[in-house]
Structure 1
Amino acid sequence: MNGNTPYGGAPGVTEAGQPSTDVELTQDQRRALRQAVAGIVSRTRSYLPDSYTVGSELSYGSNGPTATVAVRPPAGHPVSAGFTPDLDDIETGLAADERDEVARGLAASAALQVMDAVGDGVKPTAR
């Protein structure tokens, strides 16, 4: 019964008897967040070859919206970056330098995963 009321959330998220703290976004805020995350995805793709898969996920919960951008390299472990922007950041837009920093960091981490997985045993095919 606890989940049927606005006063009871998942254990550890909202205490019984307390109002839910879910943050509601307007359509414009959701659109702006989707565009910002899509920009990070496209910038990350621009730094990597086609053999890398880049994707994103948006979720909305009690702590507000959460965005995750992930890269699956052709070898090695996937890497991801997640962040929870403030409502002010959503309304003013995520800064271009912050989006670039996330994209560069993901691309570098994904390339490092491939280098770690392949090791030094690869012989160059050309001089």
Structure 2
Amino acid sequence: MNGNTPYGGAPGVADAGKPSTDVELTQDQRQSLQRAVAGIVSQTRSYLPNSYTVGSELSYGSNGPTATVAVRPPAGHPVSAGFTPDIDDLEAGIGTDERDEVARGLAASAALQVMDAVGDGITPTAR
């Protein structure tokens, strides 16, 4: 029955008898975060061929909102970038430079995963 109250969160999140510490976002803040993450996903896709899968996830918890953008390359391990934006900065939006930096880093990491997985044993098909 402890899970039915806002006071009985996971161990270490909210002690029994104390209110939940989950951070609530306004509708505008939530939409701003969703737009920023969608922009990162779109920008990352623009750097990569269609064989790479790019996706995102938003979660809200005791530390505030957390956004994760992940890339699954056609070979190698998936790569992801997660960040927890400052709630005060959400209304102003996440800067274009920051979004571009995350997108470029993810695309480069995903391409490196393919290069590591494939190795040097590929015969070129053209000169």
Q: TM-score, normalised by structure 2?
A: 0.96
- 1:86 paired residue number: 86
- 2:109 paired residue number: 109
Which segments of 5 or more consecutive residues in structure 2 lack a partner in the other structure? Answer: none
CA distance in 1, matches of 2:80, 2:19: 32
- Deviating beyond 3 angstroms after TM superposition, the runs of 4 or more aligned structure 1 residues are none
Q: Does 1:41 align with 2:41?
A: yes
Identity, in percent, stands at 87
- 2:23 paired residue number: 23
State the AA in 2 paired with 1:8.
G
State the AA in 1 paired with 2:51.
S
State the AA in 2 paired with 1:101.
E
CA distance in 2, matches of 1:126, 1:7: 64
Name the SS of the counterpart of 1:81 in structure 2.
Answer: strand
CA distance in 2, matches of 1:2, 1:11: 11
Q: Does 1:54 align with 2:54?
A: yes
* Cα distance per residue 1:25-66 (max 9 Å; x no partner): 111111110000000000001111111010101111111111
Name the SS of the counterpart of 1:13 in structure 2.
Answer: coil
Q: Does 1:4 align with 2:1?
A: no
Q: TM-score, normalised by structure 1?
A: 0.96
- 1:70 paired residue number: 70
Aligned length: 127
CA distance in 2, matches of 1:13, 1:24: 15
User: 1:9: how far off?
Assistant: 1.0
